[in-house]
């Protein structure tokens, strides 16, 4: 492991940066300090050994030896931490992994937006209610509550979030240890990757079949740094930052650059090649090292109408700069719209077009798409539109429960993955025939 490039880094060095986007202001800083001190003494949510397994797994995806499916709620709810909800989320991820494994003929890395996705970014810390009252914006259950009377940021919610994350992890372990009643054999775990120790600079570690890595957005830096042990963020295996938090001189980039965890960065259609390369060089200044293959995951969220023009120049720039990231497609965020009734929604057809367009752009530019990143739920919600069951906006309100952005329902999420696999197989057949 090479640490000399991070000599000035500590889990708290982010606090010295001039920009800390999405910072939360608490009425009682001493209460926050007390909570952070408590969190820093608690056992790790994720063992560093599992984080190293995740790093090895993402390296495999970067080399085209595996494929990642990452999915879960836009924002998790404390209210959903019960066996049925967790089982449904795990079941959906397993079914998607099975479809992808069978269709792509690759080992599948399964990553849940789960056990910690309790904080959400907002364009403004305050909002005006219909009655004219100015109040705090709802920013996720880790920070405040959705009810008007719950909007004041409460540091003790971070302890609740830790409790619910631990409870969720225990439920996931129980679900995975329960024999499947579907009769399906799921895809081999990352231990089957044909990699040598030299290729990843980590010792091969056994991974139980059906392993689900946890992930969340690294947004609340006091919490994230409190959960950091040495260079491991032990609150999740995989964490990411987004456009609102990826300033080169910002606290979030400073924080993630020193971690051993695989790191994701989300980029939108306005991200230029020079901006992306500067970001990659800051997070991973030694891309030539074998251990840095797949260290960074670039999560593109470009929109179905922009992906074919925006993505190719970015791919070429990354190739020329010598980086070997995991390229992942988030077909959800770039296709969000607002219904006439004021509800956020997305159309499954547009999401599929972006996923297909992303795959095609990578193949045409001698690159590899390494994964899909989906906002979804194991329940049968009515938040995204499709051409079958939700073909009109009037149907949306019948079962619309998201805390933030619209999620694919169980059926929609499976359908999207199935259609994506069908396209990939068709592409590969045509390629073999020389079309």
152 has binding-site annotation: no
122 has binding-site annotation: no
242 has binding-site annotation: no
Give backbone dihedrals phi and psi of 37, rounded to 5 degrees, phi first: -60, -40
56 has binding-site annotation: no
Q: Give the CA-trace dihedral at 290, 291, 292, 295, to 10 degrees.
A: 140
301 has binding-site annotation: yes
23 has binding-site annotation: no
Closest-CA residue to 277 (of 334, 331, 325, 330): 325
407 has binding-site annotation: no
Work out whether strand 134-136 and strand 126-128 pair parallel, antiparallel, or are unpaired.
Answer: antiparallel
Cα–Cα distance for residue pair 276/298, rounded to 1 Å? 9
Q: Give the CA-trace dihedral at 304, 308, 314, 315, to 10 degrees.
A: 110
CA distances from 354 to 307, 360, 363 (A): 7, 10, 14
Cα–Cα distance for residue pair 15/306, rounded to 1 Å? 36
Work out whether strand 336-338 and strand 344-346 pair parallel, antiparallel, or are unpaired.
Answer: antiparallel
333 has binding-site annotation: yes
362 has binding-site annotation: no
Would you say how long the chain is, in residues? Answer: 435
Cα–Cα distance for residue pair 261/206, rounded to 1 Å? 18
Cα–Cα distance for residue pair 385/345, rounded to 1 Å? 7
Cross-strand pairs, 135: 127
**Which residues fall in the annotated binding site?**
74, 113, 243-244, 266, 301, 333, 375, 405
Per the annotation, binding residues for phosphoenolpyruvate are 113, 243-244, 266, 301
Annotated binding site for Mn(2+): 74, 333, 375, 405
């Amino acid at each position: 492991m090479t640490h000399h490039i991070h000599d000035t880094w500590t889990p708290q060095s982010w606090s010295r940066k001039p920009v800390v986007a999405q910072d939360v202001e608490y009425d009682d800083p001493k209460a926050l300090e007390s909570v952070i001190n408590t969190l820093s003494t608690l056992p790790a949510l994720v063992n560093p050994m599992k984080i190293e397994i995740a790093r090895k797994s993402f390296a495999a995806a970067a080399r085209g030896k595996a494929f990642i499916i990452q999915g879960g709620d836009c924002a998790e709810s404390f209210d959903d931490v019960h066996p049925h909800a967790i089982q449904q989320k795990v079941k959906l991820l397993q079914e998607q992994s099975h479809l992808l494994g069978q269709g792509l003929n690759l080992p599948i890395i399964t990553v849940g937006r789960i056990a910690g996705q309790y904080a959400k970014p907002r364009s403004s810390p305050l909002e005006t209610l219909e009655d004219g009252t100015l109040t705090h914006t709802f920013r996720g259950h880790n920070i405040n509550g959705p009810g008007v009377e719950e909007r004041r940021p409460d540091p003790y919610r971070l302890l609740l979030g830790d409790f619910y994350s631990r409870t969720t992890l225990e439920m996931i372990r129980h679900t995975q240890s329960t024999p499947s009643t579907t009769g399906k054999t799921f895809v081999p775990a990352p231990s089957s990757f044909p990699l040598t120790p030299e290729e990843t600079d980590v010792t091969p570690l056994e991974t139980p079949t059906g392993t689900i890595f946890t992930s969340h957005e690294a947004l609340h830096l006091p919490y994230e740094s409190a959960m950091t042990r040495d260079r491991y963020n032990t609150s999740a295996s995989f964490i990411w930052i987004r456009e609102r938090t990826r300033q080169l001189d910002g606290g979030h980039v400073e924080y993630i650059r020193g971690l051993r965890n695989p790191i994701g960065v989300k980029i939108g259609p306005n991200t230029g090649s020079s901006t992306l390369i500067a970001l990659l060089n800051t997070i991973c200044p030694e891309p030539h090292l074998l251990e840095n293959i797949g260290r960074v995951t670039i999560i593109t969220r470009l929109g179905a109408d922009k992906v074919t023009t925006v993505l190719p120049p970015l791919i070429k720039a990354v190739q020329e700069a010598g980086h070997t990231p995991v390229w992942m497609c988030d077909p959800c965020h770039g296709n969000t719209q607002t219904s006439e009734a004021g509800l956020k929604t997305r159309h499954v057809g547009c999401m599929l077009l972006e996923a297909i367009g992303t795959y095609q752009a990578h193949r045409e530019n001698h690159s590899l798409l390494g994964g899909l990143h989906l906002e979804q739920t194991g329940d049968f919600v009515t938040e995204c539109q499709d051409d079958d069951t939700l073909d009109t906006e009037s149907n949306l309100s019948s079962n619309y429960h998201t805390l933030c952005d619209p999620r694919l329902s169980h059926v929609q999420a499976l359908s999207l993955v199935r259609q994506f696999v069908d396209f990939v197989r068709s592409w590969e057949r045509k390629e073999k025939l020389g079309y």
